[in-house]
Amino acid sequence: MTVLHSSPRQSELSPILCAIANFELSTGSVDKLFGFPEGETELLLQGLHSVLRVPSKGYDGISSHHASFLDFLNDPDRSQIFYISSLDRRMVLARSLLKICAGDPKECSDLFLSRVVSNNLIPFITSLAPTAELCPLIELMNDEYILEMTCDLECMSSWIKNIPSAPRVLVERWEKYTTISSEQTSVLSPEFYSRAPSNAHAALSTTGADRNHGKRRGLRHSVHERRSAVTERRLF
């Protein structure tokens, strides 16, 4: 497509196109995702307004004017260097998202990225073939991000187990996440209240919130130690 080939920075467009084709992101979100200077994504996309809607203020998500443009990007014969569904492109996006999850959620004020991590990260990761290449980044994920996810944590746990060389501590950690998530779902479900209406609030306090708070605190401590160990290995 002429409009893409006319860009002076074609190699930098591909990861951006892959990101906005998979997730709803603003220009500011893409800057944060790939570590660009503020405003860089808007600059890179400035020649693509005929195919993309790029809100100038960055408060709204980038979107395609025509579904045919996304079809083009997903066709390797037509899009060539701009093909977005190759394993390399998807791995770059996966690594970038996982790096976001290594930070503190309280410091991530970007609503688009927070929504992507909460709702879409695990389905995206598990759509890839299980690979040990992502294990170090998964090990560094902040457990607060993980425990706030709305998607099925068991899928991620199973995905990790299918990696022959996955660290045992990582497998066990995600098994714990899955257990906590299932307990929270059980405690908050309508069936829980209908079975024991008179004791529902007490049970929620003692068997749900307090117990899960303790598990979360224990996990945060163990995760902190694990992340420190991984960092030390990388430094030395």
- pLDDT grade for 233, boundaries at 50, 70 and 90: very low
Q: Does 181 lie in the same domain as 229?
A: yes
pLDDT at 151 over 60: yes
Number of domains in the chain: 2
Q: Which two tokens stand for residue 76?
A: 């390797």
Quickly count: other Cβ atoms within 10 Å of residue 210's Cβ.
11
Query: What pLDDT is recorded for position 96?
Result: 96
Of the residues 39, 56, 85, the one at which a domain ends = 85
Give the list of residues 6+ apart from residue 112 with CB closer than 8 angstroms, or none: 23, 24, 25, 26, 28, 29, 61
Calpha distance 30→40 (Å, rounded): 9
The reply to whether the predicted model has a pTM over 0.75 is: yes
**Averaged pLDDT, 54-72:** 86
**Owning domain of residue 208:** 104-236
In a domain, 92, yes or no: no
- pLDDT grade for 107, boundaries at 50, 70 and 90: confident
In a domain, 225, yes or no: yes
Half-sphere exposure of 167 (CA within 13 A, CB side): 14
Of the residues 85, 113, 148, the one at which a domain ends = 85
- pLDDT grade for 185, boundaries at 50, 70 and 90: low
For residue 36, give the nearest of 51, 15, 54, 56 by alpha carbon.
15
**Averaged pLDDT, 194-198:** 50
Region of poorest pLDDT, from 4-8, 150-154, 175-179: 4-8
Of the residues 52, 85, 118, the one at which a domain ends = 85
Q: Does 207 lie in the same domain as 166?
A: yes
For residue 95, give the nearest of 135, 60, 44, 59 by alpha carbon.
135
- Per-residue 3-state assignment (H helix, E strand, C coil) for 159-227: HHHCCCCCCHHHHHHHHHHHHHHHHHHHHHCHHHHHHCHHHHHHHHHHHHHHHHHHHHHHHHHHHHHHH
